[in-house]
Amino acid sequence: MSNGIVELKIVPSTAQRFVQDLGPKTYNFRLTWNDAGVGTWNLDIGDENQNLLVAGIPLVTGVDLLGQYRHLGFPGGLVVTSDADTGDIPTFDGLGVTSRVFFVPD
């Protein structure tokens, strides 16, 4: 994708931590799988010094995951897309394959 849109570097089927530049800032990400109910991926974001900024954001399609956290200075939004139905929740083995997370700068 262009216009400054960046796909987060997600390894499929793996709870993980990674560092990603979003615009002019660097963030620490943690993805965990919550097996309760239908199962969901959850996202924690920390600043460049690993200070936790937000925790437990469920990865769902169709919304800006950072919309309610704009006061924290994020330079854009995060959106989840799905190759299948636009309302699909990313599955354990689908995140990074059929579902992706993109940063969309302001």
pLDDT tens digit at each of 106 positions of the chain: 457 899 999 999 999 999 999 989 999 999 999 988 888 999 999 999 999 999 999 999 989 999 999 999 999 999 999 887 666 789 999 999 999 999 999 9
pTM above the 0.85 mark?
yes
Residues whose CB is less than 8 angstroms from the CB of residue 15 and which lie 6 or more positions away in sequence, other chains included: 31, 32, 33
Give just the sign of the alpha carbon dihedral 83, 81, 63, 55: positive
Which structure tokens are listed for 72?
């924290």
Which structure tokens are listed for 94?
């689908």
Contact 86, 61 (CB under 8 A): yes
Amino acid occupying residue 83: D
